[in-house]
Every structure is written in structure tokens, then in C-alpha cells.
């Protein structure tokens, strides 16, 4: 198959990832956008449509099979685009929803039946509800076995240490905890994430490296030590996500990343095939409830 066929919307480069990707690999963080659904009032990111068929082209480049669809800030608490994607992807997909404190139990049950396994609080863009609601909603979702996914600026994150320490559900930090590489080993937010990972109370997504980098493409060299700090602390608690279709890059805030290169970088950070498999297959299976049966091997 030639490189032209493997070019993908909303992704730089073309061709497959130059690494053997294990069977059942999961992209634990991506979004879909659909103009049939209105953006929330005040939404700061309104990218063009990016759907399931577009993403399936990306999977041919990254070698992933499973996917976690996250409702983006664009739609507020409207989870319909995410739910449409879960239906289209089938059993290889799970979802992360955005809800507010007024959601009723029947809605939560329907979300669970559709494949949702967590809720997201975005304290950087489009935050819904007050921080005080974080604990209340965590209590609501605990019985479902869900997690709370959190994106917050480092100073705010550090200030939430007491709250996060008493939540009755795991916390999932996306985008490297939104910690810049230069903060690693210095900022209390980095220490907090490492502490929660080590205690088995949190997970970290190595997603959005192109967002947190201070050096930029093509090598994102400054991100490697940050990634390895998490892998060293708790390799059983580390996940990977593409963050496709890279809404902030589409808006011109960063260069558009090459997703095949992102996968190759992950292989460099993990350092060996066993750790790569753990991050891409076993850890997502544990958090999102995928089966460990992996009949199809994806390779470079």
C-alpha cells in the first residue's frame, strides 16, 4: 500500500508507524467533531468535522485497534457525537463523557450501557460546573466503576491535592498532566501526579505531547524525560493517546503532529516491547474493561 493511500486527515506525514505495534493496541484519547451538533456557547475550539471513517484511516497508520472517544470541550455536556462514535466503532470502543451535577441516574446508566467508563473535568477549556462538584460527581460515578479524567493547569492541579487524595474513584490525568517538560522535578503538580500514580490512585495519559512540548517537532526531545518519569513511577498506570484530530493544532496553536511518529516516540520512551505492550494493551484493558483477547496482530 503506497504512502498516498495512508495519508490521513488532521495528521501530518504519511505512512505507517515505524514500530511493531502489539495486537489490541488502544488509542486512549481522541475526539470526534460533527457539525450536526451545535457547539456550546462560548466554545473556544470549533474544528471542522472529523469522524469515524477519518479516524479509521489513522488506525492504519498507527496500528491501533481499540479506541477511547472523549467528549471535547466544544460540545459542553452534549455527548451525542461521542455516543454516535461508540455505536459506529462497536465493542472496540469506550467513551469518556462530560456531565454536570444535574445529571440523573438513568442517564448515567444509559451512558454506561453505551460504553462510557469515565467523566472528564476540563479546567483549562470549557469547564462545566464548580470544582466543588468534582467530589459530588465522583461519588455518583463510583458505583459504576468509572474514573474521573482531569485536565488542569499545573498551579491549579497542585492546589487540588487534598481533594484528589480523597476521591472514591481513580483519577486519569490526560496530556501528561498538562505539565511542561521544564516543570518536571520542580513543580508540585509533577510531584503530586507521581505520588498518586505510585499509590495506585491515578493513571496518566501520554497524550498531547505536541501540546506540552517546549522544543517542538520533529523530535519533541524535551518530552522524553517527562514521559519516562511516569513510566518509571508506575508503568502499570500509563496510557497512550493520539489526541486526534488535534483541534488546537487545527486552530494554529501548534504544528500539526505526525501520528505515526507519535507512536514511534512512544516506543522510544517505553524502551522495550513488553512495556510498550503494557501501555498500549494491558493498561487500557484494565482501566476501560476491554478483553485481553487480541486475535489480530498489527505491525509496522
Grid cell digits, residue 255? 504544528
CA 141 → CA 107, 189, 220, 250, 255, distances in Å?
11, 25, 36, 33, 37
- Give the whole-angstrom CA distance, residue 148 versus residue 137: 9
> How far is residue 292's CA from residue 281's CA, in Å, rounded to a whole number?
8
Question: Catalytic site residue 258?
Answer: no
**Cα separation of 224 and 209, whole Å?**
9
* Catalytic pick among 27, 84, 243, 259: 243
E-only strand ranges, the chain? 26-30, 66-70, 93-97, 116-122, 147-151, 171-173, 202-206, 238-240
Residue 261 in contact with residue 13, Cβ under 8 Å?
A: yes
Contact 20, 59 (CB under 8 A): no
Catalytically active residues, by annotation:
243
Amino acid at each position: 500500500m503506497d504512502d498516498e493511500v495512508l495519508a490521513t486527515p488532521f495528521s501530518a506525514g504519511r505512512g505507517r508507524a515505524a514500530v511493531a505495534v502489539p495486537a489490541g493496541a488502544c488509542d486512549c484519547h481522541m475526539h470526534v467533531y460533527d457539525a450536526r451538533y451545535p457547539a456550546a456557547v462560548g466554545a473556544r475550539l470549533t474544528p471542522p468535522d472529523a469522524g469515524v471513517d477519518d479516524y479509521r484511516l489513522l488506525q492504519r497508520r498507527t496500528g491501533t485497534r481499540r479506541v477511547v472517544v472523549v467528549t471535547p470541550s466544544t460540545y459542553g455536556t452534549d455527548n451525542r457525537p461521542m455516543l454516535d462514535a461508540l455505536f459506529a466503532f462497536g465493542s472496540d470502543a469506550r467513551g469518556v463523557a462530560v456531565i454536570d451535577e444535574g445529571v440523573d441516574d438513568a442517564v448515567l446508566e444509559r451512558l454506561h450501557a453505551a460504553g462510557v467508563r469515565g467523566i472528564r473535568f476540563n479546567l483549562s477549556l470549557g469547564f462545566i460546573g464548580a470544582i466543588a462538584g468534582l467530589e459530588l460527581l465522583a461519588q455518583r460515578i463510583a458505583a459504576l466503576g468509572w474514573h474521573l479524567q482531569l485536565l488542569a493547569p499545573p498551579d491549579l492541579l497542585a492546589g487540588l491535592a487534598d481533594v484528589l487524595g480523597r476521591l472514591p474513584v481513580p483519577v486519569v490525568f490526560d496530556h501528561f498532566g498538562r505539565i511542561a517538560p521544564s516543570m518536571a522535578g520542580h513543580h508540585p503538580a509533577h510531584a503530586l501526579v507521581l505520588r498518586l500514580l505510585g499509590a495506585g490512585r491515578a493513571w496518566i495519559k501520554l497524550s498531547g505531547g505536541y501540546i506540552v512540548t517546549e522544543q517542538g517537532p520533529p523530535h519533541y526531545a524535551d518530552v522524553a524525560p517527562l514521559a519516562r518519569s511516569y513510566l518509571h513511577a508506575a508503568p502499570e498506570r500509563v496510557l497512550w493517546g493520539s489526541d486526534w484530530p488535534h483541534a488546537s493544532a487545527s486552530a494554529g496553536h501548534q504544528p500539526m503532529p505526525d501520528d505515526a511518529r507519535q507512536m514511534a516516540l512512544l516506543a522510544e520512551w517505553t524502551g522495550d516491547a513488553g512495556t510498550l505492550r503494557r501501555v498500549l494493551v494491558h493498561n487500557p484493558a484494565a482501566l476501560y474493561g476491554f478483553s485481553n483477547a487480541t486475535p489480530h496482530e498489527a505491525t509496522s
